[in-house]
DNA sequence: ACGCGGTGGTTTCGTTATGCAACCAGAAGG
DNA sequence: CCTTCTGGTTGCATAACGAAACCACCGCGT
């Protein structure tokens, strides 16, 4: 038996989840977006087992989301930094955060929030729009099989 | 031992992942957005084990993302439909799809894509914007601990 | 009313992933 | 050198997962 993989799926959502759909990857990526780079920083921030972290970091590196760099402070250790591909996950994090903030807290609970560094204000809510700018809901969309590019 | 839960985390991303962060939930929700409602429809579409599906559906119902309804065709069976809270996950799906489409396919592979029903055109790419409308990257943002509402 | 197949699950059992703790090698620091 | 810290790996116990068998109930044909 094996954990079923979506590698062959034509659906991009399934492909994404195949890469970053486990319990820890998105949290690691969140921390990486916040500037964490060292193994120990991730481990302390997330409180996860070191073997699992090690596994996940390797996985993310293998998929080109993180890359290993020589330490920025001159020491001989290595650091994990987001690649371009990893940076592009930002909207997913924002979407997750927005939904979590709205639907996963009781009134009165302490929470954190992502804000605009320039003015310290909350972000504008994410919007799904058509090419011509109309706001869309899931009912306004459909899935199409598109021919391979080129 | 137990799978570590993020229930107490102050970070909304962690909270979200605690609810929908497993391998299957987002795929079930994707199919629900596409209009699937019956147990058997999900099972056939996803090819997953029925016990796991059963578990996941219960979990999603318990968290108020799906709700059980009497069948729409008059038969005595039940159907699973998205609640308002579940509908709000749409931007996350769009974000996952967009990233997957860009970064998880080889050239020439068949893929599916979400399109605007009105004109059959691809959607506008998601954008993270500040309250004043400026485009933001992760570097332009910071996490703040905000006081409980009210 | 009776039998049969389809739907919607639950149970059972073997495999895989996760979590914890112990261990270990190399780098920093003194 | 000798010690401590960083960055892992290894081994083991347990929880989650996956496949298939099993089961109850619905609806339909007769």
Give pLDDT tens digits for A74-115. Answer: 778 899 999 999 999 999 999 999 999 999 999 889 999 999
Chain A residues close to B94, C-beta within 8 Å: 95, 128
Q: What is the pLDDT of residue A8?
A: 76
B147 to A11: CB separation less than 8 angstroms, yes or no: no
Q: Please, are residues A53 and A34 in contact by the beta-carbon 8 Å criterion?
A: no
Residue A73 scores a pLDDT above 70: yes
A3-CA/C15-C1' distance, Å: 10
Question: Which is higher by pLDDT, B6 or A63?
Answer: A63
Place of tokens 């809270």: B85
Q: How confident is the model at residue A2 (pLDDT cuts 50, 70, 90)?
A: low
Instruction: Please determine, for residue A52, whether its predicted confidence score (pLDDT) is greater than 70.
Output: yes
Rounded distance in angstroms from the CA atom of residue A77 to the C1' atom of nucleotide D3: 19
Give the whole-angstrom CA distance, residue B97 versus residue B113: 8
What are the start-end ranges of the H helices in chain A? Answer: 12-20, 25-33, 39-46, 50-62, 84-87, 90-103
Strand C proximal to B99 Cβ, under 7 A: no
B73 Cβ neighbours under 8 A, 6+ residues apart: none
Percent of chain A whose predicted confidence (pLDDT) is above 70: 97
pLDDT tens, position by position, for chain B (150 residues)? 567 777 778 899 999 999 998 889 999 999 999 999 999 999 999 988 899 999 999 999 999 999 998 886 767 788 999 999 999 999 999 999 999 999 999 988 999 999 999 999 999 999 999 999 999 999 999 999 988 765
Q: How far is the CA of B51 from the C1' of C10 (A)?
A: 8
Which residue reads 């605690």 in tokens? Answer: B18
- Measuring alpha carbon to C1', the residue closest to nucleotide D14 is B1
A22: confidence class by pLDDT, cuts 50, 70, 90: confident
Handedness of CA B74, B77, B80, B84 (dihedral sign): positive
d(CA B44, CA B79): 15
User: Does the pLDDT of residue A32 top 70, yes or no?
Assistant: yes
A130·B116 Cβ contact <8 A: yes
Residue B86: its pLDDT value, please? Answer: 96
Q: What is the pLDDT of residue A146?
A: 87
Distance from CA of A83 to the nearest CA of B (A): 12
Query: Which contacts of A72-78 are long-range, i.e. CB under 8 A and separated by 24 or more positions?
Result: A72/A37, A77/A38
Specify the pTM.
Answer: 0.93
Q: What is the pLDDT of residue A148?
A: 76
């Amino acid at each position: 038996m094996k954990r079923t993989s979506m590698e062959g799926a034509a659906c991009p959502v399934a492909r994404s989840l195949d890469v970053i759909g486990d319990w820890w990857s998105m949290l690691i990526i969140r921390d990486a977006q916040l500037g964490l780079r060292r193994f120990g920083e991730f481990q302390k921030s997330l409180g996860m087992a070191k073997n699992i972290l090690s596994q996940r970091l390797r996985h993310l590196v293998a998929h080109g989301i993180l890359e290993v760099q020589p330490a920025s402070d001159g020491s001989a250790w290595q650091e994990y930094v987001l690649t371009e591909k990893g940076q592009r996950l930002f909207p997913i994090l924002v979407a997750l955060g927005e939904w979590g903030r709205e639907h996963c807290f009781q009134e009165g609970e302490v929470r954190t929030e992502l804000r605009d560094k320039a003015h310290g204000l909350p972000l504008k809510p994410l919007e799904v729009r058509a090419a011509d700018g109309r706001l869309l809901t899931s009912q306004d969309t459909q899935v199409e099989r598109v021919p391979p590019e080129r």
